[in-house]
Amino acid sequence: MTAHALALGITAFLACAVEAIEALTIVVAVGVTRGWGRALTAAFCAIVVLAAVVALAGPRLPELADLRFVRLIVGLIAFYLGVTWLRKAILRAAGRKALRDEHAAFERGRAKVAAGDDAAAFATAFSGVLTEGIEVVAIVLALGSGTTQTLAAATGGALIAIVAVALLGVAVRGPLERVPENALKYVVGVMVTAFGIFWTGEGLGVSWPADDVALFYLAAIVLAAAGTTTGALRTRTAPS
């Protein structure tokens, strides 16, 4: 496996782990409140729908992988996702935005389900897993649309993340409030933004110095810019 594919797989793992944690929080809330059978059934149905979508789109991916405009499109998508995540992570790290509390999210989901009926509980778990699952698929497609190898790396990273979070959820049987999701989103934002810049440049015909190694110095540049911005915002919010 090349350094490019390895870095991409790690990025997909981290990004999809974030989405899987959020989906697990919703499923656990429904399971504790309305029963695990209903929660797991809803999650399974959502996964089946996602699998069908991927199966239908899958055969077209190899044909599209070599097209420059596709790299431009997926690069812009990856850049948008990365900057969106990084913006929120910077604001949280700088104290300008409240940190995400998985325990609070769990309690909100539990209260919402408890106030409804069984159908609402099923719909809550189904829509939660489906929504987060769609984001996972988008991440895999955005990160892995370069070549067959990069698609395999992104898919592998996503699958490992999903299995790891599912096993962790079974082990702790509760919301994953101890997982440093906010720090994770900071790292993911940097890496996905770097991939977005890299692929957008390739789509525009840019020849990056050192080829795939460009991913690492682009990530370093993005991290430095994000760190500088975080420090500046933190200084402004500090008491005089």
Q: How confident is the model at residue 220 (pLDDT cuts 50, 70, 90)?
A: very high
Q: Specify whether the CB–CB gap between 144 and 12 falls below 8 A.
A: yes
Q: How confident is the model at residue 240 (pLDDT cuts 50, 70, 90)?
A: very low
Q: How far apart are CA 39 and CA 97, in angstroms?
A: 31
Q: What pLDDT does 125 receive?
A: 81
78-127 pLDDT tens trace: 788 788 878 888 888 888 776 665 566 666 666 665 555 567 778 878 88
Given a cut of 80, whether residue 203 has pLDDT beyond it is yes
Query: Model pTM?
Result: 0.61
Q: What pLDDT does 176 receive?
A: 47
Q: CB under 8 Å, gap of 24 or more: what pairs does 37-45 form? A: 38/118, 38/121, 38/122, 38/125, 39/121, 39/125, 41/122, 42/121, 42/122, 42/123, 42/124, 42/125, 42/126, 42/129, 43/125, 43/126, 43/129, 45/126
Closest by CA position to 193, among listed 224, 165, 157, 158: 224
For the four alpha carbons of 48, 50, 54 and 57, in that order, the dihedral sign comes to positive
Residue 63: count of CB within 10 angstroms of its CB: 9
Q: What pLDDT does 225 receive?
A: 92
